[in-house]
Structure 1
Amino acid sequence: MIPNDSNKDNLLTDSVTTASLNSSNAAFWKNDWLNVQSSLSSLRNSLASFPSSPLRIMRVSQLDADLLDSELFGLFKEQLWLLFSPQIKQTFEPELLAILHLICRLTVLESGATYGAQLQNLKYRNEKQHWGGLQSITKDSPLTTYQKFAYIALTVGGQYIWIRISRLVIAQGWSELSEDDPRKIFWKVLQKVENIYKTVSLLNFLIFLYDGKYSTLTDRILSMRLVYARRIMNRQVSFEFLNRQLVWHAFTVNLIFLYRKLFLKKFNIILICFS
């Protein structure tokens, strides 16, 4: 049956009434939401002053994460050294080590955690956003872009620059020059900087053993704290790293065998020409 004109008018009137009610309700809630923003802001700011239970992360898990990263780097280095001649390794060792460090640290840019930290159910968070009463909240603040790139710059670039300067000083024998020589003074400054760094790193480690927050000096400088990625996950020993290491070892052995047969001689000749 086709509706008449009166029914059409009634339907149109009902739809207009419903739309007006929805718009009025939306305006009502919007006004209330805007009115309480100042109160919500003051409440958020006051949360930091309330006492809260400290967030405790197992120290052994954080140390195991660093150990796994070191083992992974050593595995890469061991396989890489088999590809090059001793002359190439001696000449380009700082650059090759920097590339390996960069590969091992790139996961921080993507997931906010190193490979070893992921195996230990850990990730980095921006601790600047969790001071005071916000320390134990469920949602963790992610790392900023500045923290990620600064972490890469300090751990990879800083170590590379230090190795290069040390090799230059040792190769040219700056430590054996006269006391008035600027190069000898620069060498003494390097020695003092190294001693200060080792002392501060030791103090940072002792503080870490006390409060369990920052295992390295770089983490403390950048306010990057390791926390649990999934807090409800059982704390058990994971053999995932061992399984992946076995798979990676078998894969790299086969890859190196093929590389030696196909590309090693040509690649070494090219590097020797540029060295």
Structure 2
Amino acid sequence: MLRLPSQPTPTEWGSNWKDIQPALRKVRRSMASLRTSSLKVMRVSQLDSDILDLELVDILKEQLWNALSLFKPTIKENYEPELIGLLNLVLFKLSVYDSSATYGSQLQNLKYRNEWKHGGAFESIAKDAPLTQTQKIVYGVLTVGGQYAWTRANRYITMKGWGELDESDIRYKVYNVLQKGEKYWKAFSLLNFLIFLWNGRYRTLVDRMLAMRLVYSKKSMNRQVSFEFLNRQMVWHAFTEFLLFLVPLINIEKLKMKLMRMLLPKSYLVSSKGYDKLPANQCAVCHDVTTEHSGPIGQVPNFTVHNPYETNCGHHYCYYCIQSKLSVFGDEWPCLRCGEKVYEIKKYIEKVQDDENDDKPSPAIEQ
């Protein structure tokens, strides 16, 4: 067959390409019928993004309250829902509305996509469909406007006391409907969270209603997490929790007293305070307590032993004084007069005998 000069020269690869087209169409149809793996997004990343968003709001609220502290305190009390709503509105405009992702999601390499545009065989490899403007607006109305309306309505209803009115009153019925609505919302939110833990698709109930799913913004980027820091934090947290449990079980005062007895000689413990030179009817513990709080020994004259009890070393103390020391230090408390360990006390009874009256005969009684 003759070829005109204007016609291109046929090549071998061109003819081969035309020959394999039927086979390629058959392969494409077979691939479309195959089921590919669904898109997997780490649940912990989605939950961490929510925590980061809450912490960011708390930081901004703290700064806002500090700024309002310079004005009248009634401004914060009266307009707190409006101020928080305005803050959430600004964050929504600068994050979800502009970039389809909250600040916490951006830190976790996540963004929202329109899940209504996805599905089928190429769900995990298809290009992410952006959110529509309707989705963004409805999301802002439900999250920002809904939170503000609920907080303001609860404040107003509580202030007016609608829950204490008669059951036939229309205001009580409105209050009852709102309370039941809150219970149902919490129940459905819990159910949605359990489903999220199972399949990892929609983190909140609003996300499920609007088909806004968090996916990776850059699929090739690895999750940047310092596991060394996490491990260190977990170890220190467990160590501090163990100490908080163990310290109340340890008698610190008793341990300190035992170390003092081991390191310091008995003569130093006694002579350093000079209680071994006190009279026998004086309570050394009363002197010690008064010295710690008032001044040197001898300022307060009345240190007489009341309700005396005798220790195993033979010295006398007030019952309250010696019992309080033993309850704190146990058997490690040393006697302030001799330095011996006090492990036993008993009530001291002083016997008084009148020898002169015993020798004299009893007087006669006149009749």
What is the TM-score with the length of structure 2 in the denominator?
0.52
What is the CA distance between 1:86 and its match in structure 2? 2.2
Within-5 A mapping of 1:117-132 = 117-132=105-120
Within-5 A mapping of 1:102-121 = 102-106=89-93, 107-121=95-109
Tell me which amino acid in the other structure corresponds to 1:211: N
Highest relative contact order (Cα 8 Å, sep 6+), 1 or 2? 1
Distance in 1 between residues matched to 2:53 and 2:92, nearest whole Å: 9
3-state SS of paired residue (2:36): coil
Tell me which amino acid in the other structure corresponds to 2:75: I
Distance in 1 between residues matched to 2:73 and 2:143, nearest whole Å: 26
Q: Which residue of 1 aligns with 2:35?
A: 51
1:55-88 C-alpha deviation (Å, 9 max, x unpaired): 1000000000000000000000001011223200
What is the CA distance between 1:51 and its match in structure 2? 1.2
Unaligned runs of 5+ in 1: 1-17, 22-38, 239-275
Within-5 A mapping of 1:81-230 = 81-84=65-68, 85-106=72-93, 107-230=95-218
Q: Which residue of 2 aligns with 1:28?
A: none
What is the CA distance between 1:139 and its match in structure 2? 1.2
Distance in 2 between residues matched to 1:130 and 1:88, nearest whole Å: 47
Distance in 1 between residues matched to 2:183 and 2:55, nearest whole Å: 26
Distance in 1 between residues matched to 2:113 and 2:189, nearest whole Å: 21
Q: Find the partner of 2:60 among 44, 53, 76.
A: 76
Identity %: 55
3-state SS of paired residue (1:104): helix
- The question of whether the paired residues in 2 share the 8 Å contact of 1:69 and 1:114 is answered with yes
Q: Which residue of 1 aligns with 2:46?
A: 62
What is the CA distance between 1:159 and its match in structure 2? 0.7
Q: Find the partner of 2:221 among 228, 233, 242.
A: 233
Distance in 1 between residues matched to 2:48 and 2:108, nearest whole Å: 7
Q: Quick check: which one's helix share is greater? A: 1
What is the CA distance between 1:138 and its match in structure 2? 4.1
1:12-46 C-alpha deviation (Å, 9 max, x unpaired): xxxxxx9xx9xxxxxxxxxxxxxxxxx9xxx7xx9
Q: Which residue of 2 aligns with 1:36?
A: none
Tell me which amino acid in the other structure corresponds to 1:81: W
- The question of whether the paired residues in 2 share the 8 Å contact of 1:67 and 1:116 is answered with yes
Tell me which amino acid in the other structure corresponds to 1:53: S
What is the TM-score with the length of structure 1 in the denominator?
0.68
Distance in 1 between residues matched to 2:154 and 2:119, nearest whole Å: 39
Tell me which amino acid in the other structure corresponds to 1:230: K
3-state SS of paired residue (1:125): strand
Over 4 Å off, 4+ runs: none
3-state SS of paired residue (2:176): helix
3-state SS of paired residue (2:168): coil
3-state SS of paired residue (1:132): coil
Tell me which amino acid in the other structure corresponds to 1:215: R
Distance in 2 between residues matched to 1:79 and 1:99, nearest whole Å: 14
Q: Which residue of 1 aligns with 2:12?
A: none
Distance in 2 between residues matched to 1:182 and 1:202, nearest whole Å: 30
Tell me which amino acid in the other structure corresponds to 1:55: L
Higher radius of gyration, 1 or 2:
2
3-state SS of paired residue (2:67): coil
Distance in 2 between residues matched to 1:88 and 1:189, nearest whole Å: 31
What is the CA distance between 1:223 and its match in structure 2? 0.2
3-state SS of paired residue (1:194): helix
Distance in 1 between residues matched to 2:106 and 2:126, nearest whole Å: 18
Distance in 1 between residues matched to 2:155 and 2:168, nearest whole Å: 22
